A = this chain, B = another copy of it.
Amino acid sequence: MLPTPTKFALVSGTSEGSSKLNAFDHALLNAGVGNCNLLKVSSILPPGAKLVADLNIPAGSLVPIAYGSLCLDSPGELIAAAVGVGIGDPESYGVIMEYSGRASKDEAEVQIKRMVEEAFAKRGLALSQILVRAVEHKVENTGCAFAAVALWY
* Interface size band for A: 35 or more
Chain-B contact segment, one of A30-38, A73-81, A102-110, A129-137: A30-38
Q: In the complex, which residue of chain B has the Cβ closest to the Cβ of A62?
A: B2
Which of chain B's residues have a CB closer than 8 A to the CB of A43?
A: 37
Distance of A119 from chain B, by nearest CB (Å): 5
Distance of A134 from chain B, by nearest CB (Å): 15
Most buried by B among A17, A93, A151: A93
Which of chain B's residues have a CB closer than 8 A to the CB of A62?
A: 1-5, 41, 64
Q: Are A122 and B61 in contact (CB under 8 A)?
A: no
Given A18-B118, A41-B37: A58 and B25 within 8 A (CB)? no
Q: Are B22 and A59 in contact (CB under 8 A)?
A: no
A38: contacting residue among B29, B38, B42, B49, CB under 8 A:
B42
Chain A binding surface SS class: mixed
Which of chain B's residues have a CB closer than 8 A to the CB of A115?
A: 18-19, 21-22
0/1 string, A40-51, CB within 8 A of B gives 1: 111111110100
0/1 string, A1-31, CB within 8 A of B gives 1: 1111100000000000111011011101100
Distance of A146 from chain B, by nearest CB (Å): 11
Q: What are some 16 contacts across the A-B interface (CB < 8 A)?
A: A2-B61, A2-B64, A4-B60, A4-B61, A21-B97, A21-B98, A22-B118, A35-B44, A37-B46, A37-B64, A38-B42, A39-B39, A39-B64, A46-B61, A59-B93, A60-B93
